[in-house]
Amino acid sequence: MDEETILVVDDEEDILELVRYNLEASGYRVVCAATGEAALETTASRPLDLVVLDLMLPGIDGLSVARMLKEKPETRSLPIIMLTARGEEADIVAGLNLGADDYITKPFSPKILVARIRAVIRRRASAAAEEAPHVRFGEMAIDINRQQATIRGTPVELTHTEFGVLAFLIRRPGWVFTRSRIVDAVHGENYPVTDRSVDVQIAGLRKKLGDLGRYIETVRGVGYRFRERP
């Protein structure tokens, strides 16, 4: 059984109880909060493994809570899964840019939410692997130090930027990143690149990867991710 402690933040009591029941049935410890203020107090007072955060909250809203958590060194690495209403693409993008790990839209399946939580915790547990100089994904291998990608042992000719994008995504399979997060990771913050330029880089990268280019998936209205499994 899992022993992780999860904070669930939502101002709707029915949703809190639904999520609490399903998470506890899956073996997690659950703490609930109905406001952004209560969520911040809880994160400051006890160790947590993940936060399920509704964006529409009274008082301090969910995006502000996420921003505050990511600004504090002691909670910067705390995983966040956002709960959003359908159609709130702007809020999803804003949350991911702040550093949230995933999102799920309401109404949602409790089973899917539990699966997403498991996936985020699993990825965080293996975060050290992100710094490994060698990454293998199916028939593709990446050598970070040499900045070289190979498919079935054959080198793929990539530009510096294309390799940076590929290395960033392949080390975090399943994670969804906005275009600006990708740019920040590859070039540093405030680098003057448009969303269209990122799309062009992705298109070129997919073409050079051939049939494995399908591993780079478009998340409509949000950004891109590398497939979680080959």
Predicted pLDDT at 125: 64
Residue 132 has a pLDDT of 66
Domain topology for 5-125: Rossmann fold (3.40.50)
CA nearest 193: which of 180, 177, 178? 180
Instruction: List per-block mean pLDDT (blocks of 10 residues) for the chain, which spans 230 residues.
Output: 83 93 94 96 93 93 94 89 80 87 89 90 65 83 90 92 91 88 78 77 94 94 89
The CA distance from 78 to 41, in Å, is 14
pTM value is: 0.63
CATH code for 129-226?
1.10.10.10
Which sequence spans correspond to the domains of the chain? 5-125, 129-226
